[in-house]
Amino acid sequence: MPLDLADPGLRVELRRMLARAPEREPERAQAVASWLDSLPGGSTLAFYGCGGIARRLAVEHGESLGRHRAVFFTTRQEPDRLFHGHPKRDVEAVRAAPPQHIVLLSATFDQAMRQNLAGVDAQRMVGLAGIIRSHVSEEALRACLEDVRAEARRVARKLAEALPGDGPVLGLHLMNFGSVYRPGPLRRIREAGYRVALATTRAATLPMSAEAMESEGVVDHLYVASSDEMLQLVLLELLETTDLFTLFEFPKQFNNVWYVSAVARRARCATIAYADNFLSSFYNDTDYARRFSENTELDQQTIRACYRDFFRNVDAVIHKDATQVLDRFTTLFGASPERLFFLPYTEGGMLPGSTGMKRSARDGIRRIAFGHSLHQGFFHKEWYDQDAFMRLVRDITATGLGFTVYNSMDPDGSGWEDLMALARENPLFEYRTGIPYDRFLRELQAYDYGWLGFRFEGVPGEFVRTNLQLKVFAYAQAGLPTLVSPEFEHCRALVESNGLGLTVQSSDWPRLPEILDAFDAEACRARLEAFCRNLDVDVHVRDMIAFYDRLARKQATP
């Protein structure tokens, strides 16, 4: 069934697109104006964010702004002339005398804006996504859906041109390049007879230009969408209305259960989900799940139905985590998808390097690197709480060890000002924004150890205990032993069984320099090299290709 506005999940996705996609600024401004006109006369408000939507409001809805004595403010400098006489304030002035309503004019940076306003009553803050939810017009939703359909038709034509001839077609929905998806494995899959069509977004960090991805034989076709929402909806339209794909592999986005369920139910080809144990966080009856329900605008009954439909309809699952979560869901729903347990690649084996690359060889300070996604909002709150994390940094650096965090969730520093301030205060702590994976691997070589640790209050949740953190593979490829907290049970088992590092209790952190003094890093390096060799592309990709072959043969059988 083609995409239809009668589907509540589709309406949520379209509203999310209207709130975030760059090309939807006019509709966002119109929805904010509609909300503004619904307020009682004399309401006071401030608009946080002075980008295009703010300027549109100033130009096109000046009368409404005047009725409510609206002001604009931002953390960045913008010329006053852009706001056509409407007052502009700085953040501190708004903090000192907050109006009745503070409108956050960016859904993308909503959490960062809220953090910048810490101490202001949260009840005064109005998020853009909420305004879109309540005040976007049906006309805007229909226009948005028609644009999705037009884009899907355009992409279908391009795919038909780029994928001539015989052989199965593997469609890949990719969030980012890293240790899971690499150019080398994709080339090997093409050499095995598959035509590969890759779909991602402008925000994805590609290892080379889109043109080079095709011309250098990494993929047959690369589609780059303007946003996550456009990408997902275009792919759904293609999967429902065309026979372009033999196999379609999509990521672990269980934070969008409607999408993964819709792919599994509606696709006309075999579907493969790359899943992880984060899925258990949203299903169980917890406060976390209830907040997720509010965030997705889907009630918990609908979310559970999406889980059921996903497991009963998906053809195959690729997974890397402890199996008990997947076992529990397949048993619960009477489902039996094909399964492949598959560890990430270490393309090219362990990186060549020398001890001369270590910063510690120059200044004598041993340094620990922590590559992680420091999520804002409630995602991963269980083991990334900013206050607790800053205490962790202080505990480690108090021993004289250096500690650097690479935050893959941060493209430009917005929203993590407290950590950047801590880095300015503490010479042993460094904060880095996200960088492309290959560069991250090279930079890791300058450190002595990789970190996967946290101090938990009580027993951590199932996700922490059963998930396999991909950073362990990056550390191994860069030649760094991993220091892991025992609470990360599945990660600890991998580290200990392969001799990839050390398990360190949080109570032992004050003695960490002594523990590292007693650790045989050279012997560990030999084990890291063997581990990476076993996961190199030429060895490891064979299992993936055999898995695809089995599914393609099954798909071809009438």
* Residue 243 domain boundaries: 161-345+538-556
Cα 359 from Cα 378, distance rounded (Å)? 36
Residue 440 lies in a domain: yes
Sign of CA dihedral 412, 20, 129, 74: positive
Residue 209: CATH number of its domain: 3.40.50.2000
Same domain, yes or no: 459 and 340: no
HEC readout, 271-304: EEEECCCCHHHHHCCCHHHHHHHHHHCCCHHHHH
Work out the angle at residue 444's Cα, subtended by the Cα atoms of residues 185 and 371, and round it to the nearest 5 degrees. 80
314 and 426 in a single domain? The answer is no
Per-residue pLDDT 10s for the chain (558 aa) are 578 899 988 999 999 999 988 889 999 999 999 999 999 888 888 999 877 888 888 888 888 888 888 888 877 665 555 566 677 788 888 888 899 999 999 988 888 788 788 889 999 999 999 999 999 999 999 999 999 999 999 999 999 999 877 889 999 998 766 666 788 899 999 999 999 999 998 877 788 888 899 999 999 999 999 888 899 999 999 999 999 999 999 986 656 788 999 999 999 999 999 887 656 666 666 666 666 666 677 788 888 888 899 999 999 999 998 888 889 889 999 999 999 999 888 888 888 875 558 999 899 999 999 998 776 654 455 556 777 888 999 999 999 999 999 988 776 766 677 888 999 999 999 999 888 888 899 999 999 999 999 888 778 878 888 888 889 999 999 999 999 999 999 999 999 999 999 999 999 999 999 999 999 999 999 999 999 999 888 888 999 999 999 999 998 876
Domain count for the chain, please give it.
Answer: 3
On whether the CB atoms of residues 547 and 238 are closer than 8 A, the answer is no
Residue 385 covered by a domain = yes
Contacts of 61 (CB under 8 A, 6+ apart): 29, 33, 36
| 244/266 same-domain check | yes
Whether residue 105 is contained in a domain is answered as yes
Task: Judge if 551 and 517 occupy the same domain.
Answer: no
Using DSSP's 3-state secondary structure scheme, residue 245 falls into: coil
Residue 197 lies in a domain: yes
Long-range Cβ contact pairs of 518-521 (< 8 A, separation 24 or more) = 519/481, 521/448, 521/481
Q: Are residues 467 and 361 in the same domain?
A: yes
Q: What end-to-end distance do the CA atoms of the chain give, in Å?
A: 22
Same domain, 76 and 172: no
The DSSP symbol for 15 reads H
Torsion of CA 255, 259, 261, 265, to 10 degrees: -170
Single-letter code of the amino acid located at 428: L
DSSP secondary structure string, 110-147? Answer: HHHHHHHTTTS-GGGEEEHHHHHHHH--HHHHHHHHHH
> Is 143 part of a structural domain of the chain?
no
Quote the pTM value. Answer: 0.86
Q: pLDDT at position 286, please? A: 61
Question: Rounded distance, CA 464 to CA 442, Å?
Answer: 27
Handedness of CA 92, 95, 100, 104 (dihedral sign): positive
Judgement on whether residues 411 and 336 belong to the same structural domain of the protein: no
Residues 369, 515 within the same domain: yes
pLDDT at residue 435, rounded to an integer: 84
pLDDT at 378: 44
Q: DSSP state, 427?
A: T
CA distances in angstroms from 541 to 12, 171, 347, 537, listed in the order given: 37, 17, 10, 5
Do 362 and 423 touch, CB atoms closer than 8 A? Answer: no
3-state SS record for 354-408: CHHHCCHHHHCCCEEEEEECCCCCCCCCCCCCHHHHHHHHHHHHCCCCEEEEEEC
User: Do 406 and 521 fall into the same domain?
Assistant: yes
CATH number of the domain enclosing 27: 3.40.50.720
Same domain, residue pair 378 and 333 = no
Distance set, CA 27 to CA 17, 132, 261, 423 (Å): 11, 9, 28, 40
Is 147 contained in some domain?
Answer: no
Same-domain pairing of 417 and 444? yes
**Assigned domain for 2 exists:** no
Spell out the residues 6+ positions from residue 130 whose beta carbon is closer than 8 angstroms to its own. none
154 within domain boundaries:
no
Task: Specify whether 359 is located in the same domain as 316.
Answer: no
DSSP H helical ranges for 172-256: 183-191, 210-215, 228-241
Sign, Cα dihedral of 60, 66, 68, 71: positive
Reading the block at residue 174, the tokens are: 């990719």
